[in-house]
Chain A
Amino acid sequence: MNGWIFPGQPLQYEPLLPDDDDFRIINLKCRERCGYDLENKQPLSAGSLSQHTCLQIYGVAMSLYRARRLLFKGEKPELIAEHSLGIYAALNAAGCITEGDALELAARLGACMRVMSATKEYALGCPIGLSVGAVESAARNNRVFVANYNTSSHFLLAGESEGIESALAECREAGAFNASSFSCEAPLHTPLMAVIASQLEAVVSDYNFAEPVVPVIEHISQTRLKASDIPTFLLDELLKPVWWERSYLTLLSRGVKNLVEVGSGNALKKFNRWIDSENSQR
């Protein structure tokens, strides 16, 4: 069975962009629906989109582009899973929304999140090589949240910048192999997002979602999304953590043998490699 996995927001742009008709079509949709030029990696109107939102649109666009290329080669998914921002392109691959809607949703939700950074500074923290218990303890002690449970040793924290830095210091003290931080506009996948829940809900309510023609395993509880679940899930997923290891194991348990990461980078492939190596030692 073939599985397509859609990664979350990339940390950076790829140095080289594709040069073909599919890329140009996706770029046109980015320009029309988001006011973003994929080729120049800039908003059409200066200052209209934050750098964070630009990177989010880019992430969705690259997933949509790679899905197009795979379909062109005759490859089709039989099961889909997604990580964080990957949900929008995943919903497109499953036939629930158009490419334009996937891009526009990401851009509009990104614009809502930008508001949060006006009053507080938020950051993401990436502790590597600690157990879940130690990471959760560092998060609790410093009033931040575990936003991504990627593997037994790879997590993402989100919260106010000060809390993230002190949580990472605690992780280093506890023996983390590495602990780095990144600025962000909003603490995605945490309850702190509740302050803009009504704005996020209003955006999501503007879209219609068709029944998936390919099953999509969502990243909160690893169940199959139905069309009627999607609006609630799109809001919930911004307030709850991503459980990638569980999602990957669910794909395997459902018989997926061939996995393709559809998007920028190969973070999910690396998480899967880690999970496989642990499983092979059990």
Chain B
Amino acid sequence: MSEELIFKVKQMIIDALRIEGMTAEEIDSDAPLFGEGLGLDSIDALQLVVAMEKEFGVVVPDAAVGTKVFASVRAMADYIAETQK
């Protein structure tokens, strides 16, 4: 997994969710995004779905897939890399 893609995903999360006072470097690539980690919810999930489609041309069809894809930044980057192949 390229560090460049992971950085881009982190930046996309910050931009799409308008997270203030946090840089891409401060987001743990393996921390859960929902619940404990960044504390995201289903409203955030849909915002990320739209952002991923816009930025990377990748579709997350439903919440079941989303649960796996949005498990962490690394999982998101994995899904993008796999889908773009």
Residues 1-33 of chain B: 1 if any A CB is under 8 Å from the residue's CB, otherwise 0? 000000000000000111000000000000000
A180–B42 contact, CB under 8 A? yes
Question: Main secondary structure on chain B at its contact with chain A?
Answer: helix
Q: Cβ of A128 and Cβ of B47 under 8 Å apart?
A: no
How many residues in A have their beta carbons less than 8 Å from beta carbons of B? 17
Contacts of A154 in B (CB 8 A): 43, 46
B46 and A153: CB pair below 8 A? Answer: yes
Give how many B residues have a beta carbon under 8 Å from the other chain's beta carbons: 16
User: What's the least CB distance linking A245 to chain B, in Å?
Assistant: 13
In the complex, the answer to whether B43 meets A177 with C-beta atoms within 8 Å is no
Query: Could you count the A-B residue pairs with CB atoms below 8 Å apart for me: how many are there?
Result: 43
User: Is A273's CB under 8 angstroms from B18's CB?
Assistant: yes
State whether B18 touches A126 (Cβ < 8 A): no
Chain B neighbourhood of A273, CB < 8 A: 17-18, 47
Are B43 and A271 neighbours in the complex by a CB distance under 8 Å?
yes
Q: Does A274 contact B (CB under 8 A)?
A: yes
Main SS at interface, chain A: mixed
- Cβ–Cβ < 8 Å partners of B17 in chain A: 273
A274 to B47, CA, bound (A): 7
Q: Which residues of B contact A177 (CB under 8 A)?
A: 42, 45-46, 49, 60, 62-63, 66
Residue B50 is within 8 A (CB to CB) of chain A in the complex: yes
Closest 8 CB pairs of A and B: A178-B63, A270-B43, A178-B42, A129-B46, A177-B46, A128-B46, A128-B42, A273-B18
